[in-house]
Amino acid sequence: MPTTIGSLSEFELIARITSRLAPTHDVLIGPGDDAALLRAPDSRVVATTDLLVEGRHFRRDWSRPRDVGHKAAAQNLADVAAMGARPTGLLFGFAAPPELPVSWAEELAEGLAAECAAAGAAVVGGDVVRASELTLAITALGDLAGAAPVRRGGARPGDLVAVAGRLGWSAAGLALLADPPADPADPAAAAVVAEHRRPSPPYPAGPEAARLRATAMIDVSDGLVQDLGHIAAAGGVRVELDSAALRPDPELAAACALLDGADPLAFMLNGGEDHALAASFRPGTPLPRHWRTVGRIGIGSGVLLDGSPVNPSGWDHFGRGAPG
């Protein structure tokens, strides 16, 4: 019989989980005391929080515990990067049924720690509680290193709109999990499913955009059109996208061929959960190659694609959307 979390005290369970975690140079006091202590060289701290509920944001029959840990950390650390900050620390709250094996929680912690390490951050503490529904509450922290935060509302007409990171992969992966292909080992299917389970946000691109004086930036979590709509609304401007610039990656195109020829552009525009970064920059800004220019900022409101209004159909936190 596997050891369950209900058979351990809160102290024992936290000790088992935190034994999987490793500190970084930003952590002065890690797990084990009433609170953690982190360096704050900038004297300002970027903070964000998120909830993940089983059946709504992830499914245990589709994702392993490490996958859930990676995904939970990534979607919060990407928000830190979207402000132009460097991720430094992460705290987690973990509510679970008492019959859940302790090994599941330990593997979850390993995923959290591994994703934090990829971003240069560390898990610095957490809490656990018994509950009927498996739920994660994540708080991520970051440091601006003296830079001004990049907010959503600074885009101005004439600015370029660019994206760093992948678009559409996670949504295609979710679709293939819901409707598996004849050959689940197909390389294209495996690639997008892996991206859905473990997103790979371009963390360094956030601080880089701040150094390049990006005028606005956002984490693409709810779909490119929907999230660029937030930039448009915050700045009182219009985002004008160019479909020719939104060329799908070969892996995404191949995966869509397995989905009865689904349109890759639809996944790129409305998929979400890839946690790419979308930003606006002043005209003439020398963008590195990993920033792909996909449009411009114009006068007006909303989001256009090739001159026509496009309505978002991305993630709705209180409505549609399948768990992954």
Q: DSSP letters of 73-92? A: HHHHHHHHHHTT-EEEEEEE
pTM confidence score: 0.92
Residue 33 marked as a ligand binder:
no
Torsions phi, psi of 197, nearest 5?
Answer: -70, -40
Share the mean pLDDT of the chain: 92
Answer whether residue 81 shows pLDDT above 60. Answer: yes
Closest-CA residue to 170 (of 275, 63, 310, 292): 275
Residue 48 marked as a ligand binder:
yes
Residue 186 marked as a ligand binder:
no
**Amino acid identity at 82:** A
Q: What pLDDT is recorded for position 318?
A: 39
Residue 219 marked as a ligand binder:
yes
Answer whether residue 170 shows pLDDT above 80. Answer: yes
CATH architecture of 5-143: 2-Layer Sandwich (3.30)
Residue 63 marked as a ligand binder:
no
Residue 315 marked as a ligand binder:
yes
Residue 15 vs residue 25, higher pLDDT = 25
Which CATH homologous superfamily contains domain 160-309?
Answer: PurM-like C-terminal domain (3.90.650.10)
| Residue spans per domain, the chain | 5-143, 160-309
- What own/partner pairs with CB < 8 Å and gap ≥ 24 does 308-311 have? 310/225, 310/241, 310/269, 311/225
Helices (H), the chain: 10-18, 65-82, 102-119, 169-178, 187-197, 205-211, 224-235, 250-257, 264-270
Residue 49 marked as a ligand binder:
yes
The kind and range of the H/E element at 158 are none
Give CA–CA dist 77/210, Å, rounded: 16
Residue 159 marked as a ligand binder:
no
Answer whether residue 134 shows pLDDT above 90. Answer: yes
Q: What pLDDT is recorded for position 317?
A: 46
Q: Please report, for residues 258, 292, 309, the alpha-carbon distance to residue 304 in angstroms, rounded to integers and kept in the order given.
A: 29, 18, 4
pLDDT category, 10, cuts 50, 70, 90? confident
- Percent helix / strand / coil, the chain, rounded to 5: 35, 25, 40
Unique residue bearing structure tokens 């490490």: 66
Residue 57 marked as a ligand binder:
yes
Cβ distance 124 to 27 under 8 Å? yes
Residue 126 marked as a ligand binder:
yes
Residue 127 marked as a ligand binder:
yes
Give CA–CA dist 242/306, Å, rounded: 5
Cβ distance 31 to 124 under 8 Å? yes
Residue 273 marked as a ligand binder:
yes
Q: Please report, for residues 19, 21, 192, 256, the alpha-carbon distance to residue 15 in angstroms, rounded to integers and kept in the order given.
A: 6, 10, 35, 44
Please tell me whether residue 106 adopts helix, strand or coil conformation.
helix
Q: What is the mean pLDDT of residues 256-277?
A: 95
